[in-house]
């Protein structure tokens, strides 16, 4: 009896703890009322669930958008002004930059609407509404279907539902899978297509600390950029036109100048991309012991070469800055993630849960549940070599700049004797912009170096049957000497030299096809793709489909086993709420990291010799004179960034960080290195999101750039 009471108490405490296990989770806005709002209120949120998401009233969701293809942004004025990260607008800023107008280095500020810069292909996407479509999508799906049939049928149901949801409107609709296909939700959205660059600080502010500080705390990056959405005269989306007018939003965020202190409520409202919180121990093992180490190794090499070249030549710095940032970002995250998972004993923890599951499954006496774990084990044994081959294909082959460029010429594959000249001319014309943008950021020497060294890694680390045919040719013709092969490649190919390529294309006719097909770059690309399609893709997708099925049952089982726990779905680039509080942390024994940084820290890091830490003179002057205006904190300091316990991931960059009153207090841009494993396992002690204090952004706009006309558009709460 006593034992029973004890057990009862114990489980009560346990459940109670789970519910309060602070701050983990990325929640569905539509379900806040049901699952979260009480807890949020307890933690300091003062508004209602409807103020965040509603289809009946104007709410915060109307001010939050997908920025481009992978970030979040939010509206900060009644005239369509939006803020996102510098690293999210980086591609655009870089595209407008040249040696003459080097906006990356010097920053850019439109002093009037006329000076705002158009960005073809940049869009922002607002959510109009979401709906639970599980029943509709799964209505005629029965358990007797095999997995492939099941997925095909679901795809059909989804296509039908999406078409129906947008009939007669200009909206877009997407149905997405949640909980590995246990649930489905519909998202209807509106896409604006004329989005102009308004302002960006110099990289020495917007990317201060560069890739050295990336993923790290203490941090001092002024990671923001400003854009404006334009619409037609009816306030509706339109392609770029000089006639377009600033978009008049239903809602924009008021901006608080009051700042935050430790323990204050914060929430992040944005588009987290991918998390994998419900992975099994087998999947984690494969990832952190086999797959990620290989990818880390490949990228390490690329980064070393790029950095050397960038340090030597200013032009190369501009050309490779975006590529370098992209390559190094995931590389550094994977390193942090591996350490974090090891420190957390993630695999052991998962194994424990799996054991519990097995016992539970046995009791349930449901065959599929009890078979799950052995099936997982077997399938990961089979899957890992294919995933690895796929990673090598991608990281060490397909993603090489020159190869990706040549894939753009795939439409030439269908050319033959009978192809009309006009058709060929059209193909070439369509390639013009790709050719231009490739060579704008191409440095032959650097490209060749990367190509050579990465192919060596590919060659030396893969077995014959797991790499493309072309390596056999390298064996035969070059005795396996990659250096010699690369010399030949960069001497013979028409793709490595803009003039050569243009000349070739100018005179191209069907009869020249032979020459094209013999080109070393063309051959390499073809060989890579054939290899992937013929040897990897089929088996890989077959095995992944099987994993998907196991995951669906496993998660379904877990939710039944842990009845009292509210599960949140993995991130899938749909709008979510994460909430928590401003908080510091203890990264290592004896070290405490404060929850905010100030301008003083920027001066401490100042070092004109190191590119990442070269502080602009103007900023030093503002610091010296403490010229912070109304943007200082109550002690007269200029805060730069702060940390909080919100559960975020890639895609959350640029997300509004909001206080208990629904006011903007910052822009989310990163996480701490010790906490990057939060994509797989969240640890309340270590996982922190990093936010740019909005007051630092305003200070830079106002005092540093003198763009006070932008501040006047905003709604400040003092
Ligand atoms: N780590 C941040 C995120 O994942 C910022 C990346 C951009 N910054 C950089 N230095 N590469 O997106
Ligand atoms: N820096 C990430 C992003 O760009 C955010 C994160 O991973 O925490 O979305």
Q: Which atom of ligand 2 is nearest to the CA of 85?
A: 4
pLDDT of residue 19: 45
Give the integer Cα–Cα distance in Å for 490 and 405: 14
User: Per mean pLDDT, which range of 49-53, 138-142, 275-279, 448-452 is the poorest?
Assistant: 138-142
pLDDT of residue 419: 85
Q: Which atom of ligand 2 is nearest to the CA of 652?
A: 9
22 pLDDT band (50/70/90 cuts)?
low
Give the integer Cα–Cα distance in Å for 685 and 586: 8
407-459 confidence digits (pLDDT tens): 999 888 888 888 888 888 888 888 988 999 999 999 999 999 999 999 999 99
181-213 confidence digits (pLDDT tens): 999 999 999 999 999 999 999 999 999 999 999
Nearest ligand to residue 689 Cα: 2
pLDDT of residue 11: 47
Residue of 23, 223, 447, 702 with catalytic role: 223
What does the CA dihedral 234, 240, 241, 244 come to, rounded to 10 degrees? 30
| H or E, element range at 669 | strand 664-671
Length of the chain: 718
295-339 confidence digits (pLDDT tens): 999 999 999 999 999 999 999 998 998 899 999 999 999 999 999
The ligand 1 site (C-beta within 6 Å) comprises 87, 207, 210-211, 214-215, 325, 328-329, 650, 653, 670
- Indicate the pTM of the whole model: 0.92
Give the integer Cα–Cα distance in Å for 393 and 525: 11
Of 189, 202, 227, the residue nearest 77 (C-alpha): 227
Are 133 and 185 within 8 A, CB to CB?
Answer: yes
Name the more confident of 454 and 18.
Answer: 454
Q: Give me ligand 2 centre to Cα 521, in Å.
A: 34
637-664 confidence digits (pLDDT tens): 999 999 999 999 999 999 999 999 999 9
108-136 confidence digits (pLDDT tens): 999 999 999 999 999 999 999 999 999 99
Residue nearest ligand 1's atom 10 by CA: 211
Are 188 and 128 within 8 A, CB to CB?
Answer: yes
Residue nearest ligand 2's atom 5 by CA: 650
Largest CA distance in the chain: 92
Of 14, 185, 31, 36, the residue nearest 562 (C-alpha): 14
Query: Pocket of ligand 1, candidates 653, 674, 692: which has the most ligand atoms within 8 Å of its Cβ, to mutate?
Result: 653
The structure tokens 């020159």 sit at 402
Q: Give the distance, in angstroms, between the CA of residue 120 and the centroid of all CA atoms in the same chain.
A: 21
Are 175 and 161 within 8 A, CB to CB?
Answer: yes
Q: Which phi and psi angles does 415 have, rounded to 5°?
A: -70, 135
Of 63, 30, 55, 25, the residue nearest 43 (C-alpha): 25
pLDDT of residue 416: 84
Residue of 653, 655, 670, 693 with catalytic role: 653
Strand 255-256 and strand 716-717: the pairing is parallel
pLDDT of residue 630: 97
Give the percent of the chain with pLDDT over 70. Answer: 97
Three-state SS for 707? coil
Quickly list DSSP for 55-121: SSS--GGGGEEEETTTEEEEE-STTSEEEE-HHHHHHHHHHT--SSS-HHHH-EE-SSGGGPBP-TT
Residue of 54, 86, 87, 252 with catalytic role: 87
Name the more confident of 322 and 342.
Answer: 342
pLDDT of residue 315: 93
Q: Give me ligand 1 centre to Cα 335, in Å.
A: 14
Residue nearest ligand 2's atom 7 by CA: 650
Quickly list DSSP for 306-351: HHHHHHH-HHHHHHHHHHHHHHHHHHHHHHHHHHHHHHHTHHHHHH
pLDDT of residue 423: 87
Give the integer Cα–Cα distance in Å for 695 and 343: 35
Q: Which phi and psi angles does 152 have, rounded to 5°?
A: -65, -45
Q: What is the pLDDT of the chain when averaged over all its residues?
A: 95
pLDDT at 139 over 60: yes
- Can you tell me the mean pLDDT for 478-483? 97
pLDDT of residue 322: 86
């Amino acid at each position: 009896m006593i034992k029973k009471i004890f057990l009862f108490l114990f489980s009560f405490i346990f459940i109670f703890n789970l519910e309060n296990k602070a701050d983990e989770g990325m929640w569905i806005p539509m379900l806040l009322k049901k699952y979260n709002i009480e807890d949020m209120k307890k933690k300091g949120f003062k508004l209602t669930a409807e103020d965040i998401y509603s289809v009946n009233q104007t709410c915060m969701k109307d001010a939050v958008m997908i920025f481009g293809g992978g970030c979040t942004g939010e509206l900060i004025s009644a005239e369509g002004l939006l803020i996102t990260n510098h690293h999210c607008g980086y591609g655009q800023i870089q595209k407008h930059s040249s040696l003459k107008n080097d906006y990356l280095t010097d920053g850019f500020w439109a002093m009037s609407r006329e000076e705002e810069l158009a960005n073809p292909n940049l869009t922002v996407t607002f959510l109009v509404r979401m709906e639970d479509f599980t029943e509709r999508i799964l209505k005629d799906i029965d358990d007797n279907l095999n997995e492939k049939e099941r997925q095909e049928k679901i795809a059909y149901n989804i296509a039908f539902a999406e078409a129906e949801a947008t009939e007669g409107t200009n909206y877009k609709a997407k149905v997405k899978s949640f909980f590995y296909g246990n649930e489905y939700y519909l998202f209807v959205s509106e896409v604006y297509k004329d989005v102009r660059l308004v302002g960006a600080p110099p990289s020495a502010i917007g990317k201060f600390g560069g890739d050295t500080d990336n993923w790290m705390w203490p941090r001092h990056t002024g990671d923001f950029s400003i854009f404006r959405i334009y619409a037609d005269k009816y306030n509706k989306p339109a392609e770029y036109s000089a006639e377009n007018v600033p978009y008049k939003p239903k809602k924009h965020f008021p901006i608080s100048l009051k700042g935050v202190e430790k323990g204050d409520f914060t929430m992040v409202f944005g588009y987290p991309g991918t998390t994998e919180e419900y992975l099994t121990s087998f999947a984690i093992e494969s990832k952190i012991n086999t797959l990620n180490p290989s990818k880390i190794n490949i990228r390490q090499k690329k980064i070393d070469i790029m950095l050397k070249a960038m340090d030597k030549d200013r032009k190369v710095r501009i050309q490779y800055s975006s590529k370098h940032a992209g390559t190094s970002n995931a590389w550094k995250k994977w390193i942090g993630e591996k350490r974090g998972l090891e420190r957390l004993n993630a695999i052991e923890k998962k194994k424990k849960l799996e054991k519990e599951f097995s016992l539970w499954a046995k009791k349930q006496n449901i065959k599929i549940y009890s078979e799950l774990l052995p099936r997982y084990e077997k399938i990961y044994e089979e899957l890992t070599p294919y995933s690895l081959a796929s990673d090598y294909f991608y990281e060490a082959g397909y993603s090489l700049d020159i190869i990706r460029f040549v894939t753009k010429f795939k439409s030439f594959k269908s050319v033959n004797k009978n192809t009309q000249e006009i058709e060929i001319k059209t193909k070439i014309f369509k390639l013009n912009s790709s050719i231009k943008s490739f060579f704008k950021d191409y440095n032959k020497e650097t490209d060749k170096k990367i190509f050579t060294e990465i192919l060596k890694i590919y060659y030396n680390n893969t077995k014959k049957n797991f790499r493309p045919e072309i390596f056999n040719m390298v064996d035969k013709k070059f005795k396996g000497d990659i250096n010699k092969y690369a010399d030949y490649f960069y001497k013979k190919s028409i793709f490595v030299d803009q003039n050569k390529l243009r000349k070739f294309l100018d005179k191209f006719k069907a009869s020249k096809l032979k020459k094209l097909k013999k080109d070393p770059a063309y051959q390499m690309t073809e060989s890579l793709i054939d290899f992937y399609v013929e040897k990897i893709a089929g088996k890989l997708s077959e095995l992944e489909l099987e994993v998907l099925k196991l995951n669906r049952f496993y998660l379904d089982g877990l939710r039944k086993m842990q009845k009292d726990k509210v599960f949140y779905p993995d991130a899938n680039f749909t709008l979510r709420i994460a909430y928590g509080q401003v908080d510091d942390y203890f990264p290592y024994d004896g070290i405490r990291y404060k929850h905010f940084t100030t301008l003083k820290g920027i001066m401490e890091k100042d070092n004109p010799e190191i590119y990442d830490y070269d502080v602009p003179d103007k900023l030093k002057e503002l610091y010296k004179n403490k010229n912070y205006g109304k943007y200082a904190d109550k002690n007269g300091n200029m805060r730069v960034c702060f940390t909080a316990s919100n559960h975020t991931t890639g895609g959350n960059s640029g997300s509004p960080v909001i206080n208990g009153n629904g006011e903007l207090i910052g822009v989310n841009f990163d996480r701490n290195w010790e906490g990057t494993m939060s994509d797989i396992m969240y640890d309340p002690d270590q996982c922190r999101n990093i936010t740019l204090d909005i007051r630092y952004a305003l200070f830079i706009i106002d005092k540093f750039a003198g763009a006070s006309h932008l501040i006047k558009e905003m709604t400040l709460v003092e």
